Structure 1
Amino acid sequence: MDIIKSSIKILIARVGKSASQFLAVVLFSRALGASPLGTYYPFIALLGIVSIPATFGLATATEKRISEGEDPERHLGTAITLRLGFVTIISIVLYVGRGYIDQFFGSELALLFIATLFAKQASDFSLNVLRGELRVGETALIEVIRPLCWLVVGYALYLEGFGVRGLIYGYLVGCILMAVVGWWKVSTGVSLPSLAHARSLLSFGKYSAIAETGGYIYSWIDVVILSLFVSYGITATRADIGAYENAWRLTLVVMLLSRSIATTVFPQFSRWESEDALKQIESVIPRATLPGLMIVIPAFAGTTILAEDLLSILFGPEFTVAALALTILAGERILQAFHSILGQVIWGINKPKLAAYPILISATVNLVLNVLLIWMFGIVGAAVATLVSSAVLLGFQIHYLRQFMEISLPIQEGAWCAVSASAMWVVVRLVYESMSVDSLLELAAIVAVGAVTYGLIIVLYKPLREFLTEMTRTALPVDSQ
C-alpha cells in the first residue's frame, strides 16, 4: 500500500466531505441560527457517547485482526455478532429510558436516536473492515456520503418546515446509504463466530474501547457538559453551544491532511509490526507528521487575527461569541497534528495497553477540566480543557513510544514553519489594518495573501522544498492498473 497515494485519495475525498459538511453548517447556521444547532449538536454528541459501549473497542480490533491476514473471515463473523449484540443491548436500555432521553433533547427524539445509532454503527463498521483489508483509499468516497446527505436531505427537509428534526433525518439517511455502499464493497467473507476469535477481538478491543472513549470525550464531552449546564441553567445557552461547535468544526478543516495520513498509516504500521519491521515505522513517523504541521501552524497564526471575522462572515454575528474559543482550538490542532500520528503508531505496533493509558489519563483530565472550566468560563473554558488534555496526551504518547523505538519528530522543519507563519502574521496584520473585512470575498482575499506569503517563505528552506517536491512527484503519477 502506497501511504502517500492512499493519503491523497483520502484527503481529496475528505475535502469533498468537509466541503459538504461545512456548506451545510453555513446554510443551517444562517437559516436556523445558533440556538437550534445547540439542540442538534447535543444529539450527535450523545450519539457518540452512547457508541462507546455499543462499539466496545471492536472497530479498531476488527481492523487490526483483519489487517494481520490471519483467518479474517472468522474474525469478521465474530465481530459482527459481538457488535450487533452490544448495540441491541444498548438500544433496549435507551428504549426503557426514553423519557430521560427526550428530556435531555427537549423533544421526543428517543426512537429516532435509537434508529440513528444502528445506522451509524453499521456504516462506520464497514469502513473499519475496508481499512483492515488495506483498502484505505477505497473508503474515501464512501466517507462523503453522510455529510452530503446531511446537506441535501437535511436542507430539503428544512425547506419543508421540519426544522432541527430535518437535520437529523438527513444524517440518518446518510448513515444508511453509507452502510449500503460500504458493505457492498467489502470483500472479506463472513464465517461462523467462535469463542477463540471473540477472545482475540475483545483482548485487543478492551484497550481500544478506552481509546474510543478518550476520542469521544475529546470530541464531544464539552458539548455534553455544556448541554447539561444549559439544561440546569448553570451557565451558557443553547446559542453558545451552537457557536462553540461551529468554531470546533471550523478548526477541523486544517486537520484534513493529518487525519487522512493517520487513517492511512494504521493498517500499514500493523502489517510492518507483524513483519518485525519497526525501522520502517521509525522512518515514516517524521514524514507522516510534517504535512499536517505545515498547515496547522500558519492556520493558528491567521486565526489569532481573523477569528471574529471568520465566525461573523461565515455563520452570522451571533456566532462571534466563540471567537476566543476558536483561537484556542486552532492552537490545539498543532498538538493534534502530532498525536494523531503517534497514537496510530502505538496501536499499529500492537501495544494496546500502552495506547490506552495516555488516552485514559488525558480523557480524565479533559472531563474534570471541562466541568470546572465550563462552570467558571463557559465555552472558553471548554476550549482550554481541550488544549490542556491534548498536551497531556502527546506527552504520554512520546514517553511510551520511546520505550520501543527511536522517535524522530520534524522539529527543525516545524520551527521553520513557525518562522514562516510569524512572517505571514505580520503581513496579514498590516493588510488587515489597512482594509475592512466585511464580506466573504474580502475575507478570502486576505486569507490568500497570507497563504501566498507563507508559501513563498516556506520553500526557501531546502529540506521543506525537497520534501514538497518529493510528495508532488509521488502523488502525481497514475497507477497503470
Structure 2
Amino acid sequence: MIIINAGIFDGTRKYIAEDRNEANWTEHVFVFYFRLAFVLAIIGALIYTAISWSGLPDYLFGDGFKIYFFLIGVLIVGRQMNSVARGGLMGLGLENRSEPLNVLKKTLFAVVGLYLVYTGYGIVGVLVGHIMSTLIVSILGYTVLFKHLDLRAVFIQIPTSFPKRQLLSFNGLSIILIFLTASLYHIDIIFLRLLTGDQATGYYKAALVVAEFLWLVPNVLQMVLLHSSSGLWSNDRTDRITSLASQTTRYNLSLVLLLMIGLAALAHDFIPIYYGPEFDAAILPLLLLLPGVLGFALARPIFAIGQGKGQLKILIMATGTASLVNLCLNALLIPSFGMVGAAIATSIGYGSMLILHILAALRIGFNPINDLRLMRITAVAIIATGVIFGLTSAINSSIVSLVIVPPVGFIVYSILLLKFSVVSPEETELIIQQLPSPLKEYAERGMRFIS
C-alpha cells in the first residue's frame, strides 16, 4: 500500500487544505488525486488477481492462499478509494466526519469479520469483513464529500495550468519518506529474527508494542498538523506556525512524559498480566526503548508540519540519517547483546529523529522548541517520578497498583504542571472551554480547587 497509495492520502490533505486563489482549486486537486489513486489501485488489483489466477500462492504458501490474493486485490481498490475520501474530508477541515467514519470502519470490520470467522469462513471471512467495512465507509465518505464538492468535478478536464508536476513530485518524495520511516519500525525485528530466533524476537516485539502505546496522541497530532499547517504555510504565516509548533511540542512532551513515567513504574506489574509471567524477559527491553519512543513521539508533529511546507528533501535527509543510525547500531549490537542490544539501538535511532527533525525544522523555517519550558517540565517530571515510583513500591499487589497509581499519578502530575506554569492559566482556560458541558463544569471546579 505504500507504493500503491504513493503518498496520495498525504497529498490530498495537504493540497486541498492550501485552498489557493485559483478557480476550482479544491475540485482540481480532488480530481487529480482521485484519478491517480484509481489507476494505481486497479494496477495493484490486477497484479494480485494475476498472481491468484497463476496458482503461484498455493504453490508457495499452501492450499487456500489463491483466494486470499484475489480478495487482497479487491481490498486494495477499496482501501485506496477510502483513503482519497478520508484525505479529502480532512483537507476540507471535516475531521468531525472523517474520523468517526474511520472508527465506524474498524467497528464494522470487527463485527462482520469476527462473525464470518465464527461461522467458519476463517481468513476469507476476515478479508471479506475488511472489504465490506471499507466499501460501506467509502460510500458514506463520498456522500459527505460531495456535499462540499461538485460531483461533476470528477468528469471535468484539469486545466494545463494546474501544477501536476509539483503534486507528483510531492508524492514521489513521500514514498521515499514513508519507506525510510517504515524501516525504523522493522529493521530491529528483521535482524533479531535472523540472528537470535523466534523466542527473543517475540519477547522484544511484545516490549515494542507496549512502548508504542505512547504514540497514541502524537499519531493524532501528526495526522492533523500536516493539512492544518499546510494552509498556514500557503499564506506565509510563519510566526503562527512557530507558535503552533512550539505549543504542540510542549503539550506533547508534557503528556507523553507522564505516560512514560507511569509505564516505567508499572512495567513489572503490567507486562506479566498483559502477556503472562513468561514474558518477564520483555521488561528490560521495554525500559530501554522508552527514552527513544519519547523522542520519536515528539518528532512526529514536527515532522508533519515540515511535510505541510512541502520541503520533503530536508525531511528525507533527516529521516534517512536516523534510519542509517538505526540500521548500523542494530547490526552492531544485536549479535553481541541480543534483544537488549536491539532495544538500545532502536532507542537511539528513534531518539535521533527528534534531534534531526528539530534541525530540519529550523532549516525549513520554524522553531518547534521556541516555548518548550524545558526546565519547568524537568522539575515536574522529577517530582512526579518520585511520587509515582514511591506509590508503586508501597503497593504489593499488581492489580491494585494498576488501579490506583495511574489516576493518582495523573492528578499529581496535572497539579504540578499548573503550579509550575508549564501550562499557563490562559491556556488552561482555553482548553476547558473546548470541553463538553459536563466535563467543563468538573474541570472548572478542579481549577478552583488547585488555585
How far 1:468 moved relative to its partner? 5.0
CA distance in 1, matches of 2:242, 2:140: 35
CA distance in 2, matches of 1:161, 1:82: 38
How far 1:202 moved relative to its partner? 0.4
- Report the equivalent of 2:359: 399
1:68 aligns with 2:18: yes
Q: Which has the higher contact order (CA 8 A, sep 6+)?
A: 1
Whether the 8 Å contact between 2:16 and 2:26 is mirrored in structure 1 is: yes
- Change in Cα spacing, 1:138 to 1:453, as seen in structure 2 (3 Å) is same
Q: Matches of residues 238-257 of structure 1 in structure 2 within 5 Å?
A: 244-257=204-217
Larger CA deviation: 345-354 vs 381-390: 381-390
- Change in Cα spacing, 1:217 to 1:130, as seen in structure 2 (3 Å) is farther
1:236 aligned to which of 158, 183, 197: 197
CA distance in 2, matches of 1:311, 1:165: 33
- Report the equivalent of 1:83: 37
1:215 aligns with 2:193: no
1:56 aligns with 2:17: no
How far 1:250 moved relative to its partner? 3.5
CA distance in 1, matches of 2:124, 2:267: 30
CA distance in 2, matches of 1:104, 1:330: 37
1:347 aligned to which of 290, 303, 307: 307
Whether the 8 Å contact between 1:254 and 1:296 is mirrored in structure 2 is: yes
Residues 175-221 of structure 1 show CA distances to partners (whole Å, capped at 9, x for unaligned) of 33332332222133424464755423202212222222233333455
Q: Matches of residues 430-445 of structure 1 in structure 2 within 5 Å?
A: 430-439=390-399, 442-445=401-404
Residues 68-100 of structure 1 show CA distances to partners (whole Å, capped at 9, x for unaligned) of 224222222221222222233334444555646
Whether the 8 Å contact between 2:247 and 2:372 is mirrored in structure 1 is: no
Q: Matches of residues 50-449 of structure 1 in structure 2 within 5 Å?
A: 51-69=1-19, 70=22, 71-95=25-49, 99=56, 103=60, 108=65, 109-160=68-119, 169-186=128-145, 187-189=148-150, 190-192=154-156, 194=158, 197-220=163-186, 222=188, 225=190, 230=193, 234-237=195-198, 244-367=204-327, 369-370=329-330, 377=337, 379-409=339-369, 413-439=373-399, 442-449=401-408
Unaligned runs of 5+ in 1: 1-50
How far 1:447 moved relative to its partner? 2.2
Q: What is the TM-score with the length of structure 2 in the denominator?
A: 0.80
Whether the 8 Å contact between 1:258 and 1:291 is mirrored in structure 2 is: no
Residues 239-264 of structure 1 show CA distances to partners (whole Å, capped at 9, x for unaligned) of 66665555444344433333333322
Larger CA deviation: 267-276 vs 445-454: 445-454
Whether the 8 Å contact between 2:295 and 2:352 is mirrored in structure 1 is: no
Larger CA deviation: 76-85 vs 427-436: 427-436
Whether the 8 Å contact between 2:289 and 2:343 is mirrored in structure 1 is: yes
CA distance in 1, matches of 2:365, 2:62: 47
CA distance in 2, matches of 1:167, 1:374: 36
Whether the 8 Å contact between 1:424 and 1:450 is mirrored in structure 2 is: yes
Whether the 8 Å contact between 2:37 and 2:81 is mirrored in structure 1 is: no
Whether the 8 Å contact between 2:15 and 2:230 is mirrored in structure 1 is: no
CA distance in 1, matches of 2:351, 2:313: 20
CA distance in 2, matches of 1:377, 1:269: 42
SS in 1 for 2:196: coil
CA distance in 2, matches of 1:170, 1:387: 36
CA distance in 2, matches of 1:151, 1:243: 27
Residues 341-377 of structure 1 show CA distances to partners (whole Å, capped at 9, x for unaligned) of 2112212223232223222333344455556655655
Larger CA deviation: 317-326 vs 208-217: 317-326
Whether the 8 Å contact between 1:87 and 1:118 is mirrored in structure 2 is: yes
Amino acid across the alignment from 1:116: L
CA distance in 2, matches of 1:305, 1:444: 13
Amino acid across the alignment from 1:54: I
Larger CA deviation: 292-301 vs 244-253: 244-253
- Report the equivalent of 2:441: none
Q: Who wins on radius of gyration, i.e. which is larger? A: 2
Amino acid across the alignment from 2:73: I
SS in 2 for 1:462: coil
- Change in Cα spacing, 1:209 to 1:474, as seen in structure 2 (3 Å) is farther
- Change in Cα spacing, 1:159 to 1:172, as seen in structure 2 (3 Å) is same
| Aligned Cα root-mean-square deviation (Å) | 3.4
- Change in Cα spacing, 1:379 to 1:79, as seen in structure 2 (3 Å) is farther
Amino acid across the alignment from 2:196: T
Residues 112-147 of structure 1 show CA distances to partners (whole Å, capped at 9, x for unaligned) of 433333333222232211122122333221221243
Amino acid across the alignment from 1:394: L
- Report the equivalent of 1:10: none
- Report the equivalent of 1:14: none
**Pairs aligned (count):** 421
Whether the 8 Å contact between 1:298 and 1:417 is mirrored in structure 2 is: no
CA distance in 2, matches of 1:106, 1:392: 45
Amino acid across the alignment from 2:224: T
- Change in Cα spacing, 1:379 to 1:143, as seen in structure 2 (3 Å) is farther
How far 1:296 moved relative to its partner? 1.1
Q: What is the TM-score with the length of structure 1 in the denominator?
A: 0.75
